[in-house]
Amino acid sequence: MCNMIGAGIFMTTGLFAADLGSNVGILAVWGLSGVLALCGSLCAIELASIWPEAGGNYVFIRNIFGRPAGFVAGFSMTFFGITGSIAFIAGSFGSYMENLFPLIPLQIAASLAVVTVTAIHAIGVREGNAINVFGAFFKISLLLAFIVFGFATESTAAPGVLTQDKPLRSLGAQIAVFGAALASTSFAYQGNMSTSFIGGEIRHPEKNLKRSMLLGISIVTLLYLLINGVFLWAAAPHEMAKEDAIGFFAAKRLFGDSIGVAFNMLIMLVFFLTLGVAIMIGARVIYSMASRGELPKRMAHLNRRGSPVNALVLMCALSLILIWSTKLKELVESVGTLVTLTTAVAIAGVIVLRIRKPDLHRPARIPWFPLPPIVFLSFTAWMTWSVMSTNAKSVKLILGIIALALVVWFGVAKNHSHPIEKA
């Protein structure tokens, strides 16, 4: 459960709160994101039980739809989805850093954080894993403390929060804004997918993994709703406008400047520690692709302590480019949408496999099939349309990386990719 919790909860609400304009809308979008995460994870569990290997959606799509589709998914996820996540988390770190040291630009603080965490992981796997474990439990502790002390403090939100300064839009426009917010909140739930990747390594996955996933995502969703409840306890949606560092903003209003600064520093530490998880996942996908010949062989090289140094350096460089070239809101929307789209392709593969290979051995099967994949695919279609309607630049970023992936595949990777047996 600890690894399911992302750092995006301390950033994303402030990016869209004023657009939604209501308490109900903010809580609803986080709740629906939890439903989306649950449906996606239940589907991924079945796929992970069939192919229990590192790589996640890249492996699933490659095995179901073939090497070209797998490469596009893996390339897009690695070179924008994961590096974009790293850039957003680092940018969030920089945003909170600006609250303490206004003279240090966001980009410089973010860049230093990425370089530092990359260097730690390059030293060795053990050191990187130690940071990740500590970070997981630290996030839980901070969230619980924020919830308990937040609600124990008198509310500072302005009255009339459901009507004051709420944007006037048509129903279609409001639906699009809600869907775009869903893309942002989906970013904070990305950690739920990593748990499903070990489905084949767990005893009795048909029982234990499903049960743990249902319980884990339910608890995470409840925590996210409570955290947002604290944000709304501190400020009305319209008061959150342009407050990217929503955790610091809420803490300062509820607890005062001194304690607010202390929380700000703790949240910065959360972002710093979360970077390690994103970097570790990215390195695993790059290693998986390089070992199949779809990326340069040197990307699969491990140093004496088992760390994929070359892959780490590549992710660091790409993340730095995004930090200096892309705004945080564009990053979180485009990354959230791309990750969800990639997952949707893998989940569509679940239905394809059920039709194509009904007798295929599945240690874990999706409960209530076909409802979870249908819900996930429907939400994905809505989210994608919404982002296209509200933020064309985010869509251009996604299309650009997919186009680049196709060029690389047909120009280079196709001739070096190792065939594997399809289900």
Which of 181-190, 285-294, 379-388 is predicted least confidently?
285-294
**111 vs 289, higher pLDDT:** 111
Residue 372 is predicted with a pLDDT of 92
**138 vs 349, higher pLDDT:** 349
- pLDDT tens-place string over residues 33-87: 999 988 988 888 888 888 876 667 878 898 999 888 988 988 888 888 888 888 9
Residue 348 is predicted with a pLDDT of 95
Tokens of 225: 């709703």
Residue 244 is predicted with a pLDDT of 79
The average confidence (pLDDT) of the chain is 81
Tokens of 406: 């196709």
Percent of the chain exceeding pLDDT 90 equals 20
Residue 64 is predicted with a pLDDT of 92
pLDDT of 245 above 90: no
CB 192 within 8 A of CB 33: no
CA 145 to chain centre: 23
Mean pLDDT of 212-224: 82
| Boundaries of every domain in the chain | 2-51+84-281+340-388
Mean pLDDT of 251-266: 90
What is 2-51+84-281+340-388's CATH number? 1.20.1740.10
Residue 162 is predicted with a pLDDT of 46
Residue 421 is predicted with a pLDDT of 44
Which of 139-153, 155-169, 362-376 is predicted least confidently?
155-169
259-280 core/surface letters (b: 16 or more CB in 10 A; e: else) = ebbebbebbbbbbbbbbbbbbb
CA 134 to chain centre: 19
Mean pLDDT of 282-298: 77
Mean pLDDT of 206-232: 81
CA distance 386 to 178: 8
Residue 356 is predicted with a pLDDT of 92
Distances (CA, A) of 115 to 64, 93, 96, 268, 318: 36, 13, 18, 16, 11
Distances (CA, A) of 261 to 137, 139, 264: 21, 17, 5
CA distance 247 to 224: 13
Residue 201 is predicted with a pLDDT of 46
Residue 177, burial from CB neighbour count under 10 angstroms (0-12, 13-18, 19+): buried
- pLDDT tens-place string over residues 11-22: 888 878 877 878
**89 vs 330, higher pLDDT:** 89
pLDDT of 301 above 50: yes
Distances (CA, A) of 170 to 17, 70, 177, 373: 18, 40, 11, 30
Residue 18 is predicted with a pLDDT of 76
Residue 239 is predicted with a pLDDT of 84
Percent of the chain exceeding pLDDT 70 equals 84
CB 328 within 8 A of CB 92: yes
- pLDDT tens-place string over residues 361-371: 888 888 888 99
